[in-house]
Amino acid sequence: GTKMRSVILGANREGIKAIVKQQFEFAKVICDNGLVPIIEPEVDINIPDKKEAEAILKEEIEAVLDKWNQEDLIMFKFTIPTEANLYEDLYDYPCLVKIVALSGGYETDEACRLLKQNNRMIASFSRALLQNLFAYQSDEEFDKELKNAIDEIYDASI
C-alpha cells in the first residue's frame, strides 16, 4: 500500500481529531484503489504531554474505526507509546492488518527496549536502523553495523 504521515506536537484534541480525520480520508481513497494504507499519526517523542496525546489519538482512532467498513484493510504506524500495549486492542477490529512502530528519533537501543514492551507491535525503523552507518566505513564495517542493527531490531520485534 502507501502511507501518509502527520506529526502531533501536543495533546490538543481538536488538532488530533483533524489529523485522524485527514488520515482516514486518505486511507479510504487508498482502500478504494485496492491497496492497504498505512496510517501514520506520529506523536513527537519530545513533547511533554506525549502520554496524553497518545490517549487522545487512540480515542479518536477508535471513534473512526467503530464506523469504518471492516472490509477496508488498514495498517497503523505509531510512535512507540509511553504506556506499553496502548494500541494492542486495536487488533479487535477485523480491518486491522498490522501495527508497526516507528523509531521516532529514539536511539536504536532505546527504541528496541521500548518496542519489546509492546505485544504484537513490530519495528518499522529507518532512523534507528541507519544511525551507525557512515559513508567512511569499510564494506566490512558497514556490513557488521547493519547486521547488528537488523539483529537488534528483529529481536525487539518478536
Residue 35, helix vs strand vs coil: coil
DSSP string, 80-140: PPSSTTTTGGGGGSTTEEEEEEE-TT--HHHHHHHHTTSTTEEE--SHHHHTT--TTS-HH
Q: How many residues are listed for the chain in this entry?
A: 158
The three grid cell numbers given for residue 130, joined into one nine-digit string: 541507519
The three grid cell numbers given for residue 26, joined into one nine-digit string: 486518505
Catalytic residues: 40, 77
Place of cell 490517549: 55
Q: What is the dihedral of CA 23, 28, 34, 39, to 10 degrees?
A: 20
Q: What is the dihedral of CA 40, 86, 114, 19, to 10 degrees?
A: 20
